[in-house]
Amino acid sequence: MHFIDTHFHLDLWADPKSIIEEIEKNKIYTIAVTNTPSVFFHTYNLTEKSKYIRPALGFHPELVYQRKSELPLFLENLKKTRYIGEIGLDYGKQSTENKKEQKRVFEKIIGACSIHNDKVLTIHSRGSYKDVIDIIGNDFSNKVILHWYSGSLKELERAVEYGFYFSVNLPMTISLSGQKVIKSIPPQRVLTESDGPFAKYRGSPCSSLAIPIIINSLSQIYMETPEVCKNIVYRNFKRLLNN
Ligand SMILES: [Zn+2]
């Protein structure tokens, strides 16, 4: 049984090689997300020999507008990996034109993934969860993980009905709104993520070492031992990969 980190920005750390060593030593199954198609091969090469880390092809919604010319590169590389992310929509403080472009690109990516059935997607949905869930829909052929979900509980319920998973990070376990979200996720759909270095804990970026702390929080919420919670998350990840 291993720890699981389904959303980690390996390439944004100053010394990814020592981070890789740490992950291998601790045997943490990790999805190394990337933010643009042009940086994918950097992470692909870094993790080529890794037993525990898999590279994901991504196009971060906050970068889509400036980098829209990279969409063909994304589509071209789709066959290189089973893992997709970080992708999604961000309606934080973007202009209407920017949101429109994000939506167009996200729809294209989801459409391109639809011809496959073994992809695992880790998805950003800040302020945009309704559109994200609408665009993926109820009959998508791949596995969906909503990362750092902060939308309404009503839409969360719809995402559960659609079969989506949710990855929980350390800031979520600390904030009241995050705790409400965690309590609403059925235990058979919960996963863990560090989202380092974006997610922070006491001022420092979260590394994979955040995962055991998240498991401890889950154990308080579920009133189960950390060992049981670690096992729940591990089995969820196995099921996600195998069905
Ligand atoms: Zn992220």
What distance in angstroms lies between residue 48's CA and the mean position of ligand 1's atoms?
Answer: 21
pLDDT at 1: 84
Q: How far is the CA of 101 from the centre of ligand 1 (A)?
A: 20
Q: Are 119 and 143 in contact (CB under 8 A)?
A: yes
Distance 124 CA to ligand 1 centre (A): 7
Alpha helices in 126-225 (DSSP H): 129-136, 153-161, 170-174, 176-184, 210-222
Burial class (CB in 10 A: 0-12, 13-18, 19+), 150: middle
Going from the Cα of 188 to the center of ligand 1, the distance in angstroms, rounded, reads: 22
Tokens of 69: 């010319």
Determine the 3-state secondary structure of 158 from DSSP: helix
- Say how many Å lie between the CA of residue 136 and the centre of ligand 1: 19
CA of 173 to the centre of ligand 1 (A): 16
pLDDT confidence of residue 223: 95
Mean pLDDT by 10 residues, the chain (243 residues): 96 95 96 98 97 98 97 97 98 94 98 97 98 98 98 98 98 96 98 96 91 97 96 98 90
Question: Domain 3-242 maps to which CATH number in 3.20.20.140, 2.115.10.20, 3.40.50.2300, 3.40.50.300?
Answer: 3.20.20.140
What pairs with residue 192 in β-bridges? Answer: 168
The pLDDT of residue 181 is 98
Does an H or E element contain 4, and which?
Answer: strand 3-8
Residue 121's beta-bridge partner residues?
84, 144
Q: How far is the CA of 192 from the centre of ligand 1 (A)?
A: 13
Tell me how far apart the alpha carbons of residues 192 and 80 are, in angstroms, rounded to a whole number. Answer: 25
Whole-number pLDDT of residue 95 = 95
196 C-alpha to center of ligand 1: Å? 7
Q: How far is the CA of 35 from the centre of ligand 1 (A)?
A: 8
Residues pairing with 123 in the sheet:
87, 146
Task: Kindly give the distance from the C-alpha atom of residue 193 to the centroid of ligand 1, in angstroms, as a whole number.
Answer: 9
Residue 243: the pLDDT is 79
Say how many Å lie between the CA of residue 72 and the centre of ligand 1.
Answer: 22
Strand partners, 57: 84
Distance 85 CA to ligand 1 centre (A): 8
